[in-house]
Structure 1
Amino acid sequence: MRRSSQILTSLAALSALVAVAPGARAQVDVNPPLPNVMLLVDSSGSMEYKSANNTFPACDPNGNTASEKSRWIELVEVLTGKIQDYRCESVDRNSTAFKNEYSLGGVLPPDANYSNPYHRPMSGTCTPGPGALPSNAYDFPANAIQYHLFSSTGTPCATFSQASDGLMDSFADRVRFGLMTFDTHTGAGTGVSGTAPQYATGVSGTWSYFLGSAKQGKPAACSTMADMEVGARNAAAPPWEGRMVAFGAPAASGASLSQRNQQIQQVLLATRPYGATPIAGMLHDVRDFLWNDTSSDPLDNSKDFGPYADPYITGGCRNNFIVLLSDGEPNLDLRPFCEGAGPPAGVCPYDKPEEIAFDLASNPDPARRTKTFVIGFSVSNVTLQNSTNVDCETLTDTDLNSPTGLCATNPDESKLQACCNLNRIAYNGGTTRAFFADDIDELRSALSAVLSSIATSTTSRTLPVFASSPTVSDPFAAGYRFYSSFEPKQFDLWSGVLERQRYVCKKDAVTGDLTPEPQDIDDSKGDDFVANVNSGTGPARKFISFRGDVSGGNIYSTRTIRPLLASNPDGVGIYSGIDVVGDASAFNTATVPASMSIDSTTCPGLTAAQCRDKYMKWLVGLDNGTAYSRCPTPGGTDCNLIGDVYHSTPRIVGRPNEFLADESYTLFASNQSKRPIVLYTSTNDGFLHAFKVASGDPPNDSLKVDQKENNELWAFMPPAVLPSVPAEYPGTHQNLLDGMPVVKDVVAKQINNSYKFERSPDDARNGLGVWRTVLVQGFGGSRGGYFALDVTDPVAGPRFLWQLTEDSAGNPLFGKNSGTPLITTLFFDTGNGDEKEVAVAILPGGDASPSGGDCGRIDNTFDGVDTSFLPRTRVPCYGSGPAVGGARSLTIVRLDDGEVIRSFRRDATDAPAGLSAANRVIDSPLDSPVTGTPVAFPGTTGAIADRVFVGDRDGTLWRVDLSSVNPSNWKMKLFLDAYPGLSHVYDDGQPVQTPPILSVDIYGNVTIAFSTGDQDVLTAPAGMKNYVYSLTEKVDATGTKFTSKVNWYTRFDAGERVAGPMTLFNGALFFSTFKPEPSNTTQVCKAGSSRVWGVDYLDPAQSGDLSQGGRARLPDGASLVQFIDSSSTLLQDGAIIFGVGVTQLPSCTDDVNVTDPYFGSGSHTSISNVAPGKFQLVMHTGTVGDTVSGGKSKKLEIDLPTPPSTTQIDSWAAIVE
């Protein structure tokens, strides 16, 4: 009998059949460019009340009782993130202490003696306050906000901590934010002369912003005009006085936007609510700022302050938006007194707010039309004096505008008038209606809906990944490709897209040729994994987390948790807990409210358990007794149980199949031969998902993933995410878990029911040991930190190993976000001369914003660097101390229990005190945050690495020497600066974010390829340069140290940079680049352009000129070229490519059953026809490209030449006749 079947064949270069480069971070859409969103934030005195009523919150700065939150604090947390260990202090503004702290050069602050107390936010005992007063009033120095103990303004503190779940964090790389707060003094004082501060006029006018002359007005029957210059404060106001923050340069880099975003957050945290509600004046001011402000940026005269000449706006591809957040009725506009006829007639200083909003939305120039969104806070339901209840969201056009309508007939109902005015502004501002919120959840949801409607553009943020069928003969699929992305939604969580495309071997009826053919993505066959979960059919979902122990009455979910570590050898702390596992209902019940930072005050009117149910039941898709549900109808279009996949490129893990000559690994592979293929990916609703791709034992497995039913094996929520669950309710977009999982097999020693991931030399020589499959992942943009799971048996579920985030005192171990980790094996002394090979995780510090200015490098000797490429001697400053030291670090931890072995930092003061005291810090000349993905050599499974390469935020590649058996002797040194000092200045550097590619040359020298370029904001600031380098590690002339040697490099100008990770295949380096249109051209609103490159890994195109890049290796028709662009028939114009991957299509065979007369006429199967799968370069594209048949994702494929095969001797055997 003949049949067509498939054999799993592949090259060693594609081991594990998973062709995806590690560490990919994807990019935001650049066409259209990021929109401008000006936040008009109500900073009036009524924001000091609670959201539930007009009473002040109770404060206990000592933490003996729970502190309540004012409307202002709730608004600040929605924008900037939940304050950890929240407390507040009720500060009397009449007090001497208040006046002393906030006076400016002897001038009392504008709110001195104000009747409402200031409810000062605190994290523990740490609170923000006034900082440095620069000579240039517009400067924002690193110490602009001084954090100090609430009880001592002169005692600095570094323990103010917030979760990264604020909407300014979630939308940081999707929106360009600006900020305005209220100017409530009618005087015209600006507080600045040129750039010099003048505090007296600043206080008298609350730093008025206006163009030309100040606004004036008068009531009817008055003959004298008076200043009525209210509205928005200007950019010369001290940051703690509600400073205006503009959008920045039109093509600002990602680093610049991040810095500006952080400045806005600092301003909000330190600003004090005070005064009236001059909405008309503020709308007038924002209109002037958007349309008419032609002034230069006071910190850079080469740029404009406002966006009036922004080429993206004038070109029609960037929009301005206004978001007004207010709790009250507009005032301070002299109405209705200025509307009288007199005589003499009154003069109103401003048009009505709704008139200004209409003007903004109806500009004759479509490019300048600006919509105004309005969110009313604590004014949604109004009870009139006649006891009538009014829902502000249901007001009709008649209610708002008719002389006999509800608004006109109740002029003295102030809360109703606030509803009416806010609705009029929204309606006339082009957004139909205002949003209203009564509590922090509704406020967060409303603002998320607004921002989601603004940031609507989407492309794939991830790479395609590949896998082969786990069985030799499978007519359902010979191989798979997976595409992942997301769909933004306005009133719900953004939803994930996770599609499986199957390849099936087909035989031509005429020629007999076998060909692997892609099949349409068919959700009825289980190819849409999100639809499978949403279907509500198949196995019940399984949820897993880990609950920290109760300590001092609290559960510290966001801190380091290491259940397998019984002591505290590294000074980070001892903290353990228990597993939480179950279906949706059981998981909710087992999740203790305290683990989510929920207590009896979190949800007014609900117990802690009821509050937990409100949030967790909603998250897992259960009915929580409210109108909000993630899945009202299982299988329906309204079911949305899988969050968005943003940066988390999936990992495919099948049965063990590494090329490793180790008897213990061979046994491991045999024992795990029926392990199913599993796809791991994280979604921004906070879960790491394990999806079954295909069965490893089809005859005995009921879940074959061949129909629309749940194929999610489990969903794991790291402990640190639990307290942020309320921040996404009910449908608020967050970035709760956005890192990329890294998975590897490691050797271990079993001790009772636990494992130590280590092995002695004797055991290694004898092939002894057991093996485990381990996953490590960072949190991504949401927070600094990492977690690890043992996923050896994915069907039974993972085993939680550790979470590393903060020490036992709450000090961060890493930066404000986390990178992509590395799993490798090192050989060192584990104590008392006991040398072992130990599996470790190597964790990059993450990101931090520059503090401003330039600083000298810590070490200028540069003795391991190619002398033709000597580094810059100065780079951007980042400050010092643990706050930035966590980002400027590289930490090596045991993979089994999370013990910190060593952390490379600038010095001991850059680390938490406990880590330093335990002698776990290695002083290293680190200058910038370590944002890159570390890569080890050798990097294969089971190999003992002796060096690691990793890049930093400013374009420097570092070499980590791990060859010593004494960890104290490990070293981290600069290996190459991609921006050499002779041709670049201190701030030219761009981050190394894509992982370096390591290999060896024919002489055994280690070779490295790396690139620079921001992967999140693809703009083209003037003068921006990015690079790709090919290096070889050489031994210097003395034979005592290694040094870098540049083989070739390519410089990219005008914002072009490598987009996504590079791939090495058959001696060729493949990568894609993206080039945005320069902001100074008339073509600025074009999509930009991509190029796909294929160059020799080592050989330069011109031996005498290394700047010409590598020798051409990319097929384009019959030719080999360095790159293709839109001039090639392979690449469409406007295609935006986010990284490349190499895969081999499945190899197809014909099997035939034959009778063999030499063996008693017995039958056996032979192969009569083999069709080797061809190799392809595969990539995701943006909105241009070929749609995956039956799916939503776009792709591009380029066929590659088949490499020459090699023979590898695995073993000898005797041949006996």
Structure 2
Amino acid sequence: MNFSLSSKVQFPLKPIAAVVLFFCASNEAFSAPGELSDVPLYSRGSAEPNLMFVLDSSGSMETMVLPVDGYDTSDPAGSSCSSPVSMTYTSNSCGHGGWGSCTRYYDDVEYRVNTSDGSVQIKLVDRNRAESDWFTWDSSSNCFDEDEDYTAWLYAEANSGGDSYYETGQDSDDYRESTTGHFLNWFFSKENGSGGYVADKFTDEDGNATRSKVDIRRTDIMKSAAQELISGLNDVRVGVMQFNTEHGAKLLSGLVSLTETNRNSILNIIEDIDANGNTPLAESFAGVGRYFISGYEGNNLTYIDSTGAEKQVPGEDIFSGSGTSTILNWGDVSAPDDTVDGGAIQYYCQKSFMVALTDGEPTRDNSISSDLTDYDYGCSSNSGGCTSDEMDDVLKALYDIDLRPDLKKTGGEEVVNNITSYIIGFAEDGLSDTNLMKNAGELGGGGVYDAGNAAELKVTFNTIINNVQSIVGSSSSVAFNTSSLKTNSSIFAVGFDSSAWSGNLAAWNLSDEGDIELNVDGNLGTSSIWEANSELDSIDPDSRVMLSYSNGTGVPFTASGLGITGTDHADDLNLDIQSSAGVYDGRASDRIDYLRGDRSNEGASTGSFRAREGRLGDIVNSTPVYVGEPSGPWSDYEFSGASSYDDFVSAKSNRTPVVYVGANDGFLHGFNASASGANAGKELIAYSPAALLSTTADEGLHALSSQYYTHKYYVDGTPTSSDVYINSSWKTVLVGGLGAGGKGYYALDITNPSDFTEENAADIVLWEFTDSDNNNLGYTFSRPQIYRMSNGEWAAIFGNGYNSSTGDAGLFIVYLDGEDSSGNSHVYISTGTADTSDKNGMSEPTIVDSDDDGTVDRIYAGDLKGNMWAFDVSSTGSWGVASSATSPSPLFSVPGEPITAAPQIARNIEHPFGASPNIIVAFGTGQYLVDSDTSDTNPGGFYVVSDNDVYNLSTSDLEKRTLHTNQVTAEDGSEWLLRSSSGDEFTWSDKSGWYMPLDEGSGLDGGERIVTRPTILNYVVFFNTLIPTGQVCAAGSDGWLMSVDVWTGLAPEDPVFDANKDGVIDEDDYGYIGEKPDDGTEGGPNKSGFLGSKQYTGTSDGGIYVREINLGGGDRAGRLSWEEITPN
């Protein structure tokens, strides 16, 4: 099955959507561009997800939990006692009959010795009990023997009368807990001012005894963890329920957005939860369903019964109690109304989640409607011997049933407005492993989690919320294995799933006409030649070739290669994130294994690493780069001392093709790009730049393994490859940056994929260049260009990036062989615009060899202040800004419009005039880097400017073009939008070019802008625009595909695309310059690729939009641009 003329195909990704959290804290001062986002801006959802907490309020939640928070086996508190002594017996009676004599040692602790077996019982008093009623821990016997094990019965008094206790839980040994004397010494001590530990009273300012180091009861721990979680949540609607005393759930707070007032109210509500009653899980979850259908409860819901028949039953009947039982106690909360956005579920794109915590299986929990009884058709008895086997039935129903069938997509397409449920088994060993709990987790869609104590509960909450607060996004970008359409052409596309921050790179065949070959049902995913994520998951981690950089040389990414102590890698990899703080845990070796792909340490329990969906991390802004046989232009040139390039091409003509792409798992990956064979799609190499290393808590490689992980960029830049002559031989090198992942570039020798081994690490890795080499280097968003300089050196050329410490905008020229004849590793050309309070930065450059001698003569790049700069590097002496004024001057300025994409360059062959170099520079303006960019209504524009050695040009020197939007209606009633442009004719001798302002934002939509590089084919300039949108249920961005006559700024004289959608491109399509991607796309266009007569455009919703284009012919046809359309 082929798509032709105009088609949209979808890159398959797992659909889990919600909103995302932004940013890590930073003390760095900057203005432009601002604090860079840690997540893709277009993945931001506009409908706040619903998150209902169901918290256990059963009587067993009064049970005490043995504390572990903060405990460290190496903590001196456990061994700093002056003289450990054995427990002694005195005549001082401790009461509570049945026990022998004991000694009281501590103000808010009573521990007793069983005279029969020597075990110790510890009793913690009520927090408000006066310390005067208790003996002080005697300084002569102030500790336990740290090397001894104590079997203790731990109690916490429930009231000052001493006749009720919170217990540690029941098991076969009654209430016994085994712990070490070291732990008990830590638990009953506190830190003094000098950093040591003393055994002392725990009293408040009024002299009353206080609790020990952590909360005592299960309910205290639950409330503390839930409050801490909700205190840090944003962009989500939260509600709270608890178990009703007898049946069903009690609603404590309906779903509300987390304003400061609502947040404080929910925190107070959680604090007031009491522990008493049963554990009616199925009934409570049915109560959740009853709440979520509010606004629609009187109408029918559809489900499939046990016979396979479709049934339609009123929602309030499905989610009800049997007999007179109450399934939902509304308490003091009013039911949501039935207005458009007044129900519990407000929009079709709004995701809903339940997080339920229980410390046991259901009890007295069999009062649900007959519609829900055995809804999963399982009816197997649960392992706990409880009275209910219906909890999993209810969770399956919540996940299966469309609870608001009246909420549909704009076009009427149905969606399932359901609830995904996460279940936490708390403080009971084995609870999450019972058949009932496992079934419930699976059928509810979210899974079941285990948390044994306070630390594990915080991790579990965090893991769940990271899942809930993820939204699927995929900014597809494309690359080809050829520069011209021919047999066996392939296309490569990348994407990601932000529910787990996993990524994929896949390859598809193109037909001889350039169409993507799909299977019979049109599914892109199953017809791919190969998919890198599944190939990578199938191999042994130890067999991977993984490299990094240390002490100036390439090293294997192994424990022995990186070092696990005393190295920069070790300093990073020995850290863990614990509650947003970096803590040394000495597990560098385990993290190295994890990053290599070992998954044995993944899980949700304390001490486990973050669970991954797959080994390949998300690929967001890095475009795949195909490197096959050598394809440089160097055969046309003779370089002094260089061997024959043609001989090099011949020798490497059959080397293994590789597609390289950066991922946010900490690595650049290289995959075998063959279309067939056993090794097609296999990873050949992975490189982790040392520039990523950090000892900041939530940065660096260690953050990737943490259960507190939130998305960060790592290797997010698009690399560049080229054939170069360095170190007395022709080589193929690859140079890449990190995007928002860091301030550094890396260079690799990729000449021979067959030599990719860890033993060859020192030969493969050429160098890294970071801000420690030059502090003008910022975050490396500039894709490097590789070419020969006029001094004979081969170099990587790139803008200095954003948010450097100096705030300057400048150009770097870094020598590929390490240094020039004077010992310089690089040249930096400043524009003199440094400002640390309102930082500037240089974006990606475009290079020009104007005299066609194989060396760079001129370089163009824009900055964040709206300046387009020209650099003159034609001489072998001084290089600098091209303006001849005493201070650097830009070619053109448009203040307030950042230039973040590279320009496109062409010879002004049709309208030559004025001084050399007589080059036209085409570029767009706009920024999409920081959170505020999504709502910025200021528009950008598109500019075509002639460089005739005249500087400080502005819009007054250009001819204006005005955009018009036209709505077209077909005979069948379908409608779509097209664009045209208008403006006066001009001559290039009177004007220095033309410009086209884009549309200003309005309402929830941001201003239109351009953040990708244009392309000039024949006389048509193609560029794509971006319109951020905050519209509810929009895809995050919109935009236009534009195709304009580069000389006039008006419609090309030959129609470029099928504007009227009649299947042909002819004179009826004349006059139009823009269209939006159609055929079901919901995302805006990203960068386009061109092959044959096809334009391939990745979209922000994960698709690839393909359309036929007409490039015209005749006298105006031909190549204008210096940059060939190449595979890489």
When normalised by structure 2's length, the TM-score is 0.51
1:847-868 CA-to-partner distances (Å, cap 9, x unmatched) read 33xxxxxxxxxxxxxxxxxxxx
Match of 2:547 in 1: 545
One-letter amino acid matched to 1:1092: L
Distance 1:1037 1:645 in 2: 39
Residues 996, 1049 of structure 2: 8 Å contact kept = no
Match of 1:959 in 2: 870
Match of 1:781 in 2: 740
Q: Does 1:843 align with 2:798?
A: yes
Distance 2:40 2:646 in 1: 40
Q: Secondary structure at the match of 1:1177?
A: strand
Residues 673, 681 of structure 2: 8 Å contact kept = no
Q: Does 1:518 align with 2:517?
A: yes
Aligned mate of 1:501, from 489, 505, 508: 508
Kindly tell me: are residues 933 and 357 of structure 1, through their superposed partners in 2, closer, same or farther at Cα, counting changes over 3 Å? Answer: farther
One-letter amino acid matched to 1:1034: N
Aligned mate of 2:689, from 718, 722, 738: 718
Residues 479, 625 of structure 2: 8 Å contact kept = no
The Cα shift of 1:246 comes to 8.6
Distance 2:483 2:808 in 1: 38
Distance 2:601 2:532 in 1: 28
Q: Secondary structure at the match of 2:587?
A: helix
Q: Secondary structure at the match of 2:622?
A: coil
Kindly tell me: are residues 951 and 500 of structure 1, through their superposed partners in 2, closer, same or farther at Cα, counting changes over 3 Å? Answer: same
Match of 2:814 in 1: 893
- Within a 5 Å distance, the mapping from 1:212-611 to structure 2 comes to 290=259, 364-366=342-344, 395-396=360-361, 447=462, 449-467=464-482, 478-490=488-500, 494-503=501-510, 518=517, 520=519, 526-536=529-539, 541-549=543-551, 576-580=552-556, 587-594=558-565, 595-598=568-571, 602=575, 611=587
The Cα shift of 1:487 comes to 2.2
Kindly tell me: are residues 32 and 453 of structure 1, through their superposed partners in 2, closer, same or farther at Cα, counting changes over 3 Å? Answer: same
- Within a 5 Å distance, the mapping from 1:699-738 to structure 2 comes to 705-707=676-678, 711-721=682-692, 724-729=700-705, 732=709, 733-738=711-716
The Cα shift of 1:649 comes to 0.4
The Cα shift of 1:843 comes to 3.2
Distance 2:851 2:526 in 1: 37
The Cα shift of 1:970 comes to 5.3
Q: Secondary structure at the match of 1:892?
A: strand
Match of 2:717 in 1: 739
The Cα shift of 1:801 comes to 1.5
Kindly tell me: are residues 367 and 610 of structure 1, through their superposed partners in 2, closer, same or farther at Cα, counting changes over 3 Å? Answer: same
The Cα shift of 1:358 comes to 11
Q: Does 1:807 align with 2:772?
A: yes
Distance 1:678 1:624 in 2: 30
1:407-430 CA-to-partner distances (Å, cap 9, x unmatched) read xxxxxxxx989xx9xx9xxx9x99
The Cα shift of 1:885 comes to 1.3
The Cα shift of 1:362 comes to 6.6
Kindly tell me: are residues 28 and 638 of structure 1, through their superposed partners in 2, closer, same or farther at Cα, counting changes over 3 Å? Answer: closer
Match of 1:1098 in 2: 1047
Q: Does 1:1200 align with 2:1110?
A: yes
- Within a 5 Å distance, the mapping from 1:952-1031 to structure 2 comes to 952-967=863-878, 973-975=888-890, 979=894, 989-1002=896-909, 1003=912, 1005-1015=918-928, 1021=935, 1023-1031=937-945
Distance 2:856 2:935 in 1: 39
Distance 2:1075 2:475 in 1: 20
Kindly tell me: are residues 784 and 1095 of structure 1, through their superposed partners in 2, closer, same or farther at Cα, counting changes over 3 Å? Answer: same
Distance 1:649 1:934 in 2: 17
Residues 995, 1010 of structure 1: 8 Å contact kept = yes
One-letter amino acid matched to 1:503: L
The Cα shift of 1:1142 comes to 1.1
The Cα shift of 1:997 comes to 0.4
Residues 1094, 1121 of structure 1: 8 Å contact kept = no
Q: Secondary structure at the match of 1:467?
A: coil
Distance 2:1094 2:526 in 1: 26
Distance 1:937 1:1201 in 2: 24
- How large is the Cα RMSD of the aligned pairs? 5.9
The Cα shift of 1:681 comes to 0.5
Distance 1:430 1:771 in 2: 55
The Cα shift of 1:1029 comes to 0.5
Match of 2:827 in 1: 902
- Within a 5 Å distance, the mapping from 1:837-876 to structure 2 comes to 837-848=792-803
Distance 1:775 1:504 in 2: 30
1:1053-1079 CA-to-partner distances (Å, cap 9, x unmatched) read 122223533211112111222435586
One-letter amino acid matched to 1:649: T
Aligned mate of 2:997, from 1051, 1055, 1079: 1051
Q: Does 1:772 align with 2:731?
A: yes
Aligned mate of 2:619, from 645, 648, 655: 645
Match of 1:1061 in 2: 1013
The Cα shift of 1:740 comes to 0.8
Q: Which is greater in Rg?
A: 2
Between Structure 1 and Structure 2, how many residues are aligned? 687
Q: Extract unaligned runs of 5+ from structure 2.
A: 1-37, 54-65, 77-225, 237-251, 276-327, 368-384, 387-425, 432-436, 639-643, 695-699, 757-762, 959-990, 1002-1006, 1059-1064, 1121-1128
Residues 1025, 1052 of structure 1: 8 Å contact kept = yes
The Cα shift of 1:519 comes to 5.7
Q: Secondary structure at the match of 2:766?
A: strand
Residues 360, 371 of structure 1: 8 Å contact kept = no
Match of 1:678 in 2: 658
Match of 2:970 in 1: none
The Cα shift of 1:727 comes to 1.0
Match of 1:884 in 2: 805
The Cα shift of 1:1196 comes to 1.9
Greater mean deviation of Cα atoms: 673-682 or 1017-1026: 1017-1026
Distance 1:675 1:324 in 2: 66
Residues 594, 601 of structure 2: 8 Å contact kept = no
Q: Extract unaligned runs of 5+ from structure 1.
A: 1-24, 41-49, 61-230, 234-241, 249-282, 294-321, 337-353, 377-391, 407-414, 506-513, 550-575, 582-586, 695-703, 751-769, 828-835, 849-882, 912-925, 981-988, 1102-1108, 1145-1174, 1184-1191, 1209-1217
When normalised by structure 1's length, the TM-score is 0.47
Kindly tell me: are residues 245 and 805 of structure 1, through their superposed partners in 2, closer, same or farther at Cα, counting changes over 3 Å? Answer: farther
Kindly tell me: are residues 290 and 529 of structure 1, through their superposed partners in 2, closer, same or farther at Cα, counting changes over 3 Å? Answer: same
Match of 1:934 in 2: 845
Residues 817, 847 of structure 1: 8 Å contact kept = yes
Match of 1:1070 in 2: 1022
Distance 1:441 1:941 in 2: 65
1:1129-1181 CA-to-partner distances (Å, cap 9, x unmatched) read x765745321211112xxxxxxxxxxxxxxxxxxxxxxxxxxxxxx2112123
Aligned mate of 2:69, from 42, 53, 60: 53
Residues 733, 748 of structure 2: 8 Å contact kept = yes
The Cα shift of 1:1030 comes to 0.7
Q: Secondary structure at the match of 1:597?
A: helix
Aligned mate of 1:1179, from 1078, 1090, 1097: 1097
Residues 1090, 1136 of structure 1: 8 Å contact kept = yes
Kindly tell me: are residues 590 and 1021 of structure 1, through their superposed partners in 2, closer, same or farther at Cα, counting changes over 3 Å? Answer: closer
Identity %: 20
One-letter amino acid matched to 2:569: M
One-letter amino acid matched to 1:1009: A
Q: Secondary structure at the match of 1:593?
A: coil
Distance 2:572 2:232 in 1: 36
